[in-house]
Structures are given as C-alpha cells and as structure tokens.
Chains A and B, each alone.
Chain A
Amino acid sequence: AQKVTQAQTEISVVEKEDVTLDCVYETRDTTYYLFWYKQPPSGELVFLIRRNSFDEQNEISGRYSWNFQKSTSSFNFTITASQVVDSAVYFCALGALNTDKLIFGTGTRLQVFP
C-alpha cells in the first residue's frame, strides 16, 4: 500500500525563523515520484517541486530546500527565513508508475507571524 504521513498538523513560527516540514512515505514501488504543493487560503494547490526516486540530490530554490532520503523514506521541506506570505497548508504527495493518481498526506498548516 502507498501512504504519505505528515505528522505535523500545525506549525507556528515568527517571521525570519527557519522551519522544516516533515514528510514520510511508504511504497513498494522502486520507481516513484514525490511532490510538494502549497495551498494558500485561496484554496488552489500550487506546485512547488517534483522529485523522482532515482534522484536523491537535495534541491534548493531561493528560500526553499528539499531533503530527499530514501534510507528513511523521507522528503522534508525547509523554508529559510520564513515570511508571512509563506503561511499556507503544505501537502506532500506520492505518485508511482503503476498508477496515475497522487496520494496526499493530510497536510501541515504553517502560520508565520510578523
């Protein structure tokens, strides 16, 4: 079975703090894809990143960075120097080659206070 766990329901930080959102996944597939999406209050899911299971290189995009570790089945997301505009619900999702659907975690609500 495929499953995504985001154990942190809600995180609150003060602006400029760094914050890490955890994502742990389960799959028996050898080829799979991992995604992070941001859902601001407007409701639309905004794509942030896609990684495939063969590429464990960490990625940095501006203030965002992702740490993919197959050994621990984790794909964690770090926001450096958080800003109020980062306040949203963040979802981690899993996709595999033998299925077309995405399996989402329950999301982590991030609140950044000024």
Chain B
Amino acid sequence: GAGVSQSPRYKVAKRGQDVALRCDPISGHVSLFWYQQALGQGPEFLTYFQNEAQLDKSGLPSDRFFAERPEGSVSTLKIQRTQQEDSAVYLCASSLGLRGETQYFGPGTRLLVL
C-alpha cells in the first residue's frame, strides 16, 4: 500500500511568511507524528496526534508553530512568521497507534527560510 506522503517536498519562504506543510499518513494509521530535522542532526519530536486529538505538543519550539488533524487523517503543520532558524526538514510519521509501534516516515519537506 501507499506510504506516508508529504507536500510540498521543498519550500522556500521569505522571513516573515507563513507556511503550511501537509502530511498524508498510511491509511488506517491512528497515530501521526511531526519531527524536525536540522542539518546533520537526528529528528526531534514536535507533536503527536491520536486520531484528531493532539495529545502531545511539547516539542513545538514556539507559539508560531501550530499543527492540526481535524478529521483524524491528513495533518497540517503551520509555521507563522517564519524565521531563518526554522529552516530544516520536517518529517511526518504514522503508526498503528499502540505505544512502541513502529513509526513509518514520509519523505519530508525541506524548508528554507531566506
């Protein structure tokens, strides 16, 4: 079946612009995760959904970051008033829903803020 898909794959934004990143999880996967990966580093957790409920947003770096999953499927990560330090790869992952289950990752969105 289809894996996790993300769009756009690349995004260039001017500082101060708002951006929206989309994630389409594997069909039937209850849990959805967002991670941020800076250059040369491992992915770092941003937020987590179980169905439409955002159960953990402890990793969001500031109130400029906002995520939603209104119907329990597709999710959008929004960054308002982008800053240069927001430049990174944003990875989305999904899993069946039980803790400890394998998370399957999408190809990521590479964001460059100029």
- Nearest chain-A residue to B109 (Cβ)? A43
Instruction: Tell me the chain B residues, 77-109 only, with Cβ under 8 Å from chain A.
Output: 89, 91, 93, 99-100, 102-108
Interface residue A45 (Cβ < 8 Å from any Cβ of B):
yes
Report Cα–Cα, A4/B44, bound state, in Å: 12
Instruction: Tell me the chain B residues, 36-58 only, with Cβ under 8 Å from chain A.
Output: 40-45, 48, 50, 55-56
> Considering residues A31, A43, A93, A100, which has the most beta carbons from chain B within 10 angstroms of its beta carbon?
A100
Report Cα–Cα, A47/B91, bound state, in Å: 14
Interface residue A37 (Cβ < 8 Å from any Cβ of B):
yes
Interface residue B110 (Cβ < 8 Å from any Cβ of A):
yes
Which residue of the partner chain, among B44, B48, B56, contacts A104 with CB atoms under 8 Å? B44
Which residue of the partner chain, among B35, B102, B107, contacts A50 with CB atoms under 8 Å? B102
Contact, CB under 8 Å: A44 / B43: no
A-B contact count (CB 8 A): 66
Q: With A95-B99, A107-B42 given, is the CB distance from A100 to B48 under 8 Å?
A: yes
Query: Measured between C-beta atoms, what is the minimum distance from B51 to chain A in Å?
Result: 13
Interface residue B65 (Cβ < 8 Å from any Cβ of A):
no
Q: Which residues of B contact A47 (CB under 8 A)?
A: 102-105
Contact, CB under 8 Å: B102 / A35: yes
- Nearest chain-A residue to B89 (Cβ)? A43
Instruction: Tell me the chain A residues, 58-114 only, with Cβ under 8 Å from chain B.
Output: 91, 93, 95-107
Interface residue B70 (Cβ < 8 Å from any Cβ of A):
no
Interface residue A52 (Cβ < 8 Å from any Cβ of B):
yes
Report Cα–Cα, A93/B100, bound state, in Å: 11
Contact, CB under 8 Å: B56 / A100: yes
